[in-house]
């Protein structure tokens, strides 16, 4: 990853609100903490589950942008083999 580091001494996305798409139906939105061999550590994480939600993922993200993220997990580790992509929420909305 390139670009300015939001929190010096940490990974580039530390403290940034990101959209993490998994290899399955779940999409997570929350504050990125770190990424290691175990996976991605996040905080205050909202979840969209395409298998059960009546809202599309895009609508879920738009609502997160307007109303904020309703956290379902205070802390979450997404296993490395289930991480499809990570991007900033503001970028995901463009």
Q: Which residues bind other proteins (CB under 8 A)?
A: 4, 6-7, 15-17, 64-71, 88-90
Q: In the bound complex, what is the minimum distance in angstroms from residue 16's beta carbon to other proteins?
A: 5
Cβ closest to other proteins, residue 34 vs residue 38: 34
Q: In the bound complex, what is the minimum distance in angstroms from residue 37's beta carbon to other proteins?
A: 26
Cβ closest to other proteins, residue 80 vs residue 90: 90
CB of 30 closer than 8 Å to CB of 44 = yes
């Amino acid at each position: 990853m390139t670009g300015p580091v939001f929190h010096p001494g940490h990974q580039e996305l530390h403290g940034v609100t990101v959209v993490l798409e998994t290899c399955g139906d779940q999409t997570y939105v929350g504050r990125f903490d770190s990424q290691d061999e175990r996976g991605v550590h996040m905080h205050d994480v909202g979840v969209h589950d395409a298998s059960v939600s009546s809202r599309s993922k895009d609508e879920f993200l738009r609502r997160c942008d307007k109303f904020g993220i309703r956290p379902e997990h205070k802390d979450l580790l997404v296993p490395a083999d289930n991480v499809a992509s990570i991007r900033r929420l503001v970028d995901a909305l463009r």
